[in-house]
Amino acid sequence: MNIRILAVVILALANFLAWPAHAQQTQALIRDAEIESDIRGWISPVFTAAGLDASFVKLYLVNDNQINSFVAGGQRIFINTGTLLRSETPNMVIGVLAHETGHIAGGHLLRMQEALSTASAESIAGFLLGAAAAVFSRDGQPLAGGAIAGMTMAQRSLFAYSINQEARADEAALSFLDRTHQSARGLLKFFKILEGEEVLLPDNQDPYLRTHPLTSERIEYVQRHVDSSPWSNVKDTPEHQVQHDRMVAKLKGFLEPPAKVLQEYPPSDHSLYARYARAAAYHRMPEDDKALAEMDSLLKDYPKDPYFWELRAQIYFESGRIAQSVAPYRMAVSLAPNQPLLHMELATALIEANEGQANAHEAEAEAKRAVELDDQDPDAWHALGIAEGRLGDTGNASVALAQEAMIAGDRHTAAQESAIAIKLLKRGSPGWLRADDIRSTLKIDKP
């Protein structure tokens, strides 16, 4: 298991009601092969019921303890770790994601952008009215008043539009759940948790309430559906519930204070979940001998679990015993060969171990497999670039590093590396064509 926290900046369009349209907020994304795979397994039938190609819908885990989820940038769903930690069953997570799927299927993101344009126009109009008054009064107060009035006009317009969208997304979510023979009780329970927070001051509310206005009508609508749907009493499968409880234990182990984790999962608790959480907490303390002892215990009971092997490897890697991490990473990959993150992690360990050409060749093969499975992971392209560089293939190394830079939004580095690749590679070769595509995307003239 490996949780990687990546700093990203998300334009706060969805949070227009809480911030000005130009505001930005820094978030952090978590990557974890096990959690991503499990959640995708739960929600993919809903994507299919919505008429979406599940392989094109991207799921992102946001490292934030507050309850929230949202759609941004096309078919991209973001869900906070706080939402996952507050959930009790997979059905609750599925209900939340079914609602977000309703936004995608309904084209709400595009419509929201149109509404934002209208709202922004109203805000500007109010600002200009205030500016005109300020000119005649020679006083800045009307200017501020006009700006506030304009923003209020915009927010009211957008708020009304948002409530309508939320109701439509609810309707779509309930339809998707029925089509996949799943209960809507999880979504209803989630709404009731949020209902208790509506009395709080806005600063203390979870952001979900600002981006997803909750009304009594919406809750009543979901309740009526639960009362009438033939699927309301369908339970999560035991397998899915185990996946959910593992997810919660892992997230707590990595994200909550270790003392709190050890209090909730004391050494006297020998359950799978407790050992998993303690292993992560001990590793963070750091008390790696205790962490490895927990992993030894888990692997004795579950020797074919790839994610237990992954966490064992991570403990070795992050404690500086990089060469020892390679074997457990290999075991994880052999047990879950279609997980791109595991291939990337093995490639990185092989590179960092730096034990000669054999390692470099294996790292190159693992990194290539990682980008075949997920060509949007910048770390996989980085590993491929380093491995190819060590093998003396400077041209293709530059292609990989240019691709990494493109995904990361570093246009300057992408331009530099693609220029190197164009000079070194044979015209028309696969690497040359990829570098040429990058330069075309950057609108750089061919040399």
Work out the average pLDDT over 60-65.
Answer: 90
Nearest to 78 by CA among 172, 160, 24, 12: 12
CA angle 273, 373, 63 (to 5 degrees): 45
Residue 358 has pLDDT above 90, yes or no: no
Residue 134: CA count within 13 A, CB half-sphere: 15
pLDDT band at 16 (very low <50, low <70, confident <90, very high): very low
What local confidence, expressed as pLDDT, does residue 6 receive? Answer: 43
Work out the average pLDDT over 307-334.
Answer: 97
What local confidence, expressed as pLDDT, does residue 118 receive? Answer: 46
If one compares 11 and 396, the residue with the highest pLDDT of the two is 396
pLDDT band at 68 (very low <50, low <70, confident <90, very high): confident
- Bond from prior residue into 286 cis (ω within 30 degrees of 0): yes
Question: Strand 69-71 and strand 76-80: pairing?
Answer: antiparallel
The residues that bridge with 11 in the sheet, in sequence order, are 24
What local confidence, expressed as pLDDT, does residue 69 receive? Answer: 87
Nearest to 403 by CA among 442, 434, 447, 365: 434
Residue 145 has pLDDT above 50, yes or no: no
Residue 209 in tokens = 């309430």
Residue 155 has pLDDT above 90, yes or no: no
pLDDT in tens, 126-135: 434 443 444 3
pLDDT band at 199 (very low <50, low <70, confident <90, very high): very low
Work out the average pLDDT over 291-320.
Answer: 97
Q: Give the full edge-to-edge strand order of the sheet including 69-71.
A: 4-11, 24-31, 58-62, 76-80, 69-71
Work out the average pLDDT over 54-74.
Answer: 87
Residue 159 has pLDDT above 50, yes or no: no
What local confidence, expressed as pLDDT, does residue 71 receive? Answer: 85
Residue 413 has pLDDT above 60, yes or no: yes
DSSP code string of 75-126:
SEEEEEHHHHHH-SSHHHHHHHHHHHHHHHHTTHHHHHHHHHHHHHHHHHHH
CA angle 324, 329, 330 (to 5 degrees): 105
- Domain ranges (residues) in the chain: 1-235, 239-441
The residues that bridge with 8 in the sheet, in sequence order, are 27
What local confidence, expressed as pLDDT, does residue 218 receive? Answer: 83
pTM, entire model:
0.81
Residue 138 has pLDDT above 70, yes or no: no
pLDDT in tens, 95-136: 999 999 998 887 655 555 544 444 444 443 443 444 344 433
Percentage above 70 pLDDT, the chain: 76
CA 143 – CA 132 distance, rounded (Å):
8
What local confidence, expressed as pLDDT, does residue 182 receive? Answer: 97
If one compares 201 and 388, the residue with the highest pLDDT of the two is 388
DSSP label at residue 366: H
Q: Classify domain 239-441 at the CATH topology level.
A: 1.25.40
pLDDT in tens, 253-277: 999 999 999 999 999 999 999 999 9
If one compares 132 and 353, the residue with the highest pLDDT of the two is 353
Residue 383 has pLDDT above 50, yes or no: yes
Work out the average pLDDT over 64-80.
Answer: 86
